[in-house]
């Protein structure tokens, strides 16, 4: 009897953005955070996790900072050039994996600017989705009151938050299915805001997996101090 291969888990980290809202002299993934760069913290999440088989890092073709990092990869690391938008960069990363691993393996796409993903949340995502027919994303329910603005900047409506979630990363799908969904969406000029939206466009319904709100995305200067606080808490508690 032929033994069925257990699907692997691979991380794709798009890091080709420039992060203009930070107003810094370099892309936000290269800003200092708790003694290292944001990107180094993010990479370490996947390097240290025993169930992650390898990592694809997607950087800008004219990136001038990555070469100066002291990256100690203990598993396969492929570095590939990004594209015009995040979705193009992710597709480039998936293309690398398609040349090296099985199309039924799982891929976890994670924002380079989310360095506070905990091992606990990553384990929860892997445990929840490893047998799922579609895949899914880390997310948290919306707890604030939601308002819709009118063209004059005044409140036009209060939106029911009952079924609303905030989408985080990683977003975890089968490699072949995600590559096909992204390529199809781009070919049809469909606006892809995250990997889940590409899968939705392909007719799939990704699962929402509740994670911690500490898994923040660094977009504003004040986010760095909050991320440093969360990282210090993780080191203290081990989560």
Q: What is the mean pLDDT of residues 173-187?
A: 97
Report pTM: 0.93
Q: What is the pLDDT of residue 19?
A: 64
Tokens, residue 195: 């990997």
Please, which pLDDT band fits residue 17 given cuts at 50, 70 and 90?
A: confident
Residue 135: strand, helix, or coil: strand
CA distances from 205 to 132, 133, 176 (A): 11, 10, 16
Q: Which residues of 181-199 are buried (b: 16+ CB within 10 A; e: fewer)?
A: bbeebbeeebebebbbbbb
Please, which pLDDT band fits residue 237 given cuts at 50, 70 and 90?
A: low
Q: Which helix (H) or strand (E) holds 37?
A: strand 36-37
For residue 84, count other CB atoms closer than 10 A to its CB.
Answer: 8
| CA–CA distance, 239 with 231 (Å, rounded to integer) | 9
Q: What is the pLDDT of residue 124?
A: 98
Domains along the chain with CATH numbers:
9-137+167-236 (3.90.550.10)
The 10s digit of each residue's pLDDT in 185-209 is: 999 999 899 999 999 999 999 999 9
Structural contact between residues 106 and 179, judged by C-beta atoms closer than 8 angstroms: no
Please, which pLDDT band fits residue 24 given cuts at 50, 70 and 90?
A: confident
């Amino acid at each position: 009897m032929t033994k069925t291969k257990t699907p692997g888990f691979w991380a794709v980290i798009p890091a080709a953005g420039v992060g203009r809202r930070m107003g810094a002299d370099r892309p936000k993934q290269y800003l200092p955070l708790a003694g290292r760069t944001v990107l180094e913290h993010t990479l370490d999440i996947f390097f240290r996790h025993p169930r992650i088989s390898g990592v694809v890092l997607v950087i800008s073709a004219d990136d001038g900072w990555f070469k100066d990092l002291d990256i100690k990869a203990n598993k396969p690391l492929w570095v590939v050039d990004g594209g015009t938008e995040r979705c193009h960069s992710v597709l480039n990363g998936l293309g690398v994996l398609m040349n090296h691993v099985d199309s039924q393996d799982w891929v976890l796409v994670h924002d380079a600017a989310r360095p506070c993903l905990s091992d606990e949340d990553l384990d929860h995502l892997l445990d929840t989705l490893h047998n799922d027919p579609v895949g899914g994303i880390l997310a948290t329910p919306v707890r604030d009151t939601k308002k819709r603005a009118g063209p004059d900047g005044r409140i036009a409506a209060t939106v029911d938050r009952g079924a609303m979630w905030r989408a985080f990363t990683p977003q975890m799908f089968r490699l072949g299915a995600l590559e096909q969904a992204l390529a199809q969406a781009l070919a049809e000029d469909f606006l892809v805001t995250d990997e889940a939206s590409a899968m939705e466009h392909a007719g799939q319904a990704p699962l929402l997996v509740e994670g911690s709100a500490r898994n923040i995305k660094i977009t504003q200067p004040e986010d760095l101090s909050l991320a440093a606080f969360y990282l210090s808490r993780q080191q203290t508690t081990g989560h």
